[in-house]
């Protein structure tokens, strides 16, 4: 009986991983506009995508959450090869956060300070499940969240690790309740 139960748990875990893997985040529709953009640092292409969306006029302002405190806007302008005016007027660097949960908490304070009502969440496709979950919890339904994933080609180990982080976070929230 115990072996059957453990087999069922293992099967559900494996099926969950398959579902997680085939439903990774997707880019938002091109015409979607929001008040703000939140970019979570951590993988290539995220900041670039956020800047492109901001430059296209799809939002008023952008927060780069999780930025290293030593990084400046000028550093980013140099790295990205332009957009100096855009960075001066419309980009904030948030360096208060150290993980996805604190990214969401930092974003909530920033959104409240600016009185925004909608936000485009930019992160990697493989990270969107967990990031979306954390942001939904932190923003508590007070803001419309548009998920905008940066496409990548994550390998098995990256997806497997992210799946386990996601499950552990969900379990921690359930056990804390």
Query: Sign of torsion, CA 126 112 142 101?
Result: positive
* Predicted local confidence at residue 30, as pLDDT: 87
Domain boundaries, the chain: 25-153
Copy the structure tokens of residue 7.
Answer: 């087999």
CB 59 within 8 A of CB 36: yes
* Residue 118: pLDDT band with limits 50, 70, 90: very high
Per-residue model confidence as pLDDT tens digits over 149-173: 999 999 999 999 999 999 999 999 9
Grouping H, G, I as helix, E, B as strand and the rest as coil, residue 68 is coil
Is the pLDDT score of 177 beyond 80?
no
Grouping H, G, I as helix, E, B as strand and the rest as coil, residue 142 is coil
**CATH architecture entry for 25-153:** 3-Layer(aba) Sandwich (3.40)
Contacts of 105 (CB under 8 A, 6+ apart): 97, 138
């Amino acid at each position: 009986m115990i072996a059957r139960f453990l087999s069922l748990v293992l099967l559900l875990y494996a099926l969950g991983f398959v579902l997680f893997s085939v439903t990774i985040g997707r880019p938002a529709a091109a015409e979607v506009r929001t008040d703000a953009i939140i970019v979570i640092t951590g993988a290539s292409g995220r900041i670039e995508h956020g800047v492109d969306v901001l430059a296209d006029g799809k939002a008023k302002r952008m927060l780069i959450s999780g930025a290293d405190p030593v990084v400046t806007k000028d550093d980013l302008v140099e790295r990205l090869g332009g957009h100096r005016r855009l960075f001066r007027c419309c980009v904030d660097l948030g360096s208060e956060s150290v993980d996805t949960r604190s990214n969401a908490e930092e974003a909530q304070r920033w959104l409240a300070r600016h009185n925004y009502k909608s936000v485009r969440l930019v992160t990697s496709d493989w990270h969107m499940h967990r990031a979306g979950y954390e942001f939904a919890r932190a923003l508590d339904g007070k803001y419309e969240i548009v998920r905008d994933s940066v496409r990548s080609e994550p390998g098995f180990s990256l997806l497997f690790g992210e799946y386990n982080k996601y499950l552990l976070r969900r379990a921690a929230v359930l056990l804390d309740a």
